[in-house]
Amino acid sequence: MESMRRTVAELVADQWGDHRPGLWFEDLVLSHHEVAAGTAARAALLGDLLPPGAEPHVGVLLDNTPEYPLWIGAAALAGAAVAGINPTRRGPELARDILHTECRVLVTERAHLPLLDGLDLPWGSPRGSGAERGGIRLLVTGTEGYEDLLASYTGATPDPGRATPGHRLLLYFTSGSTGAPKAAICSQGRLAAAGLSLVRHFGVRPDDVHYVCMPMFHGNAVIADWAPALAAGAGVALRRRFSASGFLDDVRKYGATYFTYVGRAVQYVLATEPRPDDRDHALRLGFGTEAGAVDAAAFEERFGVRLVEGYGSSEGGAAIQWTPGTPAGAIGRAAPGDDLAVVDPATREECPRAVFDGDGRLLNGDEAMGELVNRGASPFEGYWKNPEADAARRRWGSPGSREAGNGGGWYWTGDLFFRDADGFLYFAGRTDDRLRVDSENLAAAMIENILARYEGADAVAVYAVPDPVAGDQVMATVAGTFAPVAFGAFLAAQPDLGTKMAPRFVRVVERMPVTATNKIHRARLRREGFRCPDPVWWRPPGEPAYRRLSAADAAGLVAEYRERGREELLGR
């Protein structure tokens, strides 16, 4: 029942009176009680700043400093919502994010003030002080004016009575690699429930320390790292920005026991120079996505830390958790009671189960691969003022029916999966990561898992480039070292590499291009294709070995696309 659900405001108030160390940042240490007191002061300030009748939204444009969790907690107590503003956005895009989420207060720091210069935003008058109706009040943390303002609210105590589980708490942007990012909604009840669920799943204890090194404007750091620490009464150690070279030093300094990761973070840590004391720490668990089986095994071998790969759509519509007995390469099974299915979007029918040969090669990818769909009620709470995006997620259900699930339709994740005979689910990439080579459907994630075994690869990305005639060709970007002869021999030795999986093109980079959340920037890689600034090796049709793609080769390829009327597909 709704009345039995907890709120984040209640979890914040639970910290009051707990004088154990609760938050670490650089050389600063705050007790849980001090965190609760600081949160209450900011909540009282926020209550005075938000104009009556306005959407109670506060934008937070900060690195991972103590102010970030304090303002999330403050919003919870005040019945308001935090819009996480991405500091890697620039100009009109940054202004658009602030305006779209209707922020009436914007909290930032001196380092990010230049990002706001020249933006067409309705600042309150004067900027940085009282906000007129319709204006945005700017608060700059660490300044004398900010500290003086907060001092007026010293002595406030946390009162969770204004919040309900249904109160909007987070507006976090997702899927911004192409088009305008969408602001997913997360309520207090959903965030508290997620935190409590992870506490139970991983046995989080009050004496644990959660290391938050992923950016807090992204759902991963808040939902999977900060929220379970808050729910368990555990401590939180913040890193301003992720640093692979500083990772282990931080873990030791703060006594961290748990961390989360996304994208290439694990690969970057593995790329640091090994040391004899790599296992000298208290860290016991990492939870995240996209590490891959090879790197997860290497991380545990080197650091003695188990990585648990989970799956959860950022919007909360579907989740899969690893359990003991999950086979290599699989994410896990659907939780009991969840109605997750792998569905063919064209027929809306469930796909057949995956069939593997003795070497683990998927034999029926054409029919087994489909989009992961939640056909039951889901916790997806929609996007802020984006009905088109809502409709794309909550699409029709079974043929001829629009009744099932949440909001009149099923929840479509936008992710490709296949499911084996025992019900284990395997991630195959985003729907736009599907490759169709010689009329066969391939999954980018499966090829990446194989190429990750190549000794010279620090990170690998696989994606489609158009074939000059029809369908796609496989292209890979490898961060690390590349020897064409050795790479060809490596491919020939992989028993689970299908005949159509070998990359036609291999782009070699020093460092993988990533988004602000350390996910590979696949849209950029696809757009640049083989016409990119980095060295590209290719294996032309009928040739046995890789050779360097020359300017003449590239020109000849473009001419072939043009001749067949497919040149416009390059750079898509």
CATH number at residue 494: 3.30.300.30
Helix (H) or strand (E) holding 492: helix 484-492
- Residue range 68-89: average pLDDT? 96
CA–CA dist 396, 343 (Å, integer): 12
Q: Is residue 140 part of a domain?
A: yes
**Shared domain check, 512 and 400:** no
Query: Cα 510 to the chain's mean position, in Å?
Result: 23
CB atoms within 10 A of CB 3: 6
Residue 185 and residue 174 in contact, taking contact as beta carbons nearer than 8 Å: no
| Torsion sign over Cα 255, 258, 261, 267 | positive
**Shared domain check, 502 and 426:** no
Helix (H) or strand (E) holding 77: helix 67-78
At 328 the three-state DSSP class reads coil
Segments in 245-349 forming alpha helices (H): 247-254, 265-270, 293-303
- Residue range 103-111: average pLDDT? 97
pLDDT at position 439:
58
Q: Is residue 273 part of a domain?
A: no
Give the domain CATH number at 113.
3.40.50.12780
Percentage helix, strand, coil, to 5, in the chain? 30, 25, 45
Helix (H) or strand (E) holding 150: helix 144-151
pLDDT at 482 over 90: yes
Q: Is residue 237 part of a domain?
A: no
**Shared domain check, 386 and 527:** no
Q: Is residue 229 part of a domain?
A: no
Predicted confidence band at 129 (pLDDT cuts at 50, 70, 90)?
Answer: very low
The encoded tokens of residue 48 equal 């005075």
**Shared domain check, 458 and 366:** no
DSSP 50: S
Query: Which of 157, 188, 219 is at the close of a domain?
Result: 188
pLDDT at 177 over 50: no
CA–CA dist 531, 549 (Å, integer): 10
Residue 167 burial by Cβ neighbours in a 10 Å radius (0-12, 13-18, 19+):
buried
Which of residues 563 and 303 earns the better pLDDT score?
303
Predicted confidence band at 126 (pLDDT cuts at 50, 70, 90)?
Answer: very low
At 2 the three-state DSSP class reads helix
Whether residue 126 has a cis bond before it, omega within 30° of 0: yes
CA–CA dist 223, 92 (Å, integer): 28
Q: Which of 167-181, 287-301, 530-544 has the lowest mean pLDDT?
A: 167-181
Predicted confidence band at 406 (pLDDT cuts at 50, 70, 90)?
Answer: very low
- Residue range 6-16: average pLDDT? 97
Q: Is residue 284 part of a domain?
A: no
Residue 191 and residue 170 in contact, taking contact as beta carbons nearer than 8 Å: yes
pLDDT at 292 over 80: no
CB atoms within 10 A of CB 282: 13
CA–CA dist 230, 32 (Å, integer): 10
CA–CA dist 549, 572 (Å, integer): 20
**Shared domain check, 420 and 491:** no
Q: Which of 79-93, 282-296, 548-562 has the lowest mean pLDDT?
A: 282-296
Residue 87 and residue 517 in contact, taking contact as beta carbons nearer than 8 Å: no
Number of H helices, E strands in the chain: 18, 29
**Shared domain check, 553 and 410:** no
Residue 380 and residue 395 in contact, taking contact as beta carbons nearer than 8 Å: no
**Shared domain check, 120 and 148:** yes
CA–CA dist 250, 443 (Å, integer): 37
pLDDT at 199 over 70: yes
C-alpha distances out from residue 531 to 90, 265, 435, 507, 566, Å: 26, 27, 19, 10, 15
**Shared domain check, 352 and 424:** yes
CA-wise closest residue to 482 among 513, 463, 460: 460
CA–CA dist 60, 106 (Å, integer): 6
The encoded tokens of residue 243 equal 């640093």
pLDDT at position 131:
43
- Please state, rounded to an integer, the average pLDDT across all residues of the chain: 89
pLDDT at position 162:
92
CB atoms within 10 A of CB 558: 15
At 191 the three-state DSSP class reads helix
pLDDT at 4 over 60: no
- Residue range 100-127: average pLDDT? 89
**Shared domain check, 489 and 420:** no
Query: Which of 369, 396, 431 is at the close of a domain?
Result: 431
Residue 162 and residue 79 in contact, taking contact as beta carbons nearer than 8 Å: yes
CB atoms within 10 A of CB 415: 18
CA–CA dist 218, 120 (Å, integer): 25
In this prediction, what percent of the chain has a pLDDT beyond 90?
A: 61
**Shared domain check, 410 and 526:** no
pLDDT at position 178:
43
Q: Is residue 21 part of a domain?
A: yes
Q: How many domains does the chain have?
A: 3
Predicted confidence band at 397 (pLDDT cuts at 50, 70, 90)?
Answer: low
Query: Cα 223 to the chain's mean position, in Å?
Result: 11
Residue 104 and residue 80 in contact, taking contact as beta carbons nearer than 8 Å: no
pLDDT at position 536:
96
pLDDT at 156 over 90: yes
Residue 329 amino acid letter: G
pLDDT at 534 over 90: yes
**Shared domain check, 415 and 509:** no
Q: Is residue 326 part of a domain?
A: no
Query: Which of 155, 188, 221 is at the close of a domain?
Result: 188
pTM: 0.80
Q: Is residue 314 part of a domain?
A: no
* Cβ neighbours of residue 306 closer than 8 Å, sequence gap 6 or more: 284, 285, 286, 300
**Shared domain check, 352 and 419:** yes
Structural domain containing residue 149: 2-188
pLDDT at 538 over 90: yes
pLDDT at 111 over 70: yes
Q: Which residues of 419-436 are buried (b: 16+ CB within 10 A; e: fewer)?
A: bbeeebbbbbbbebbbbe
CB atoms within 10 A of CB 453: 15
Instruction: Indicate the Cα dihedral angle 35, 38, 40, 42, nearest 10°.
Output: -130
pLDDT at position 378:
83
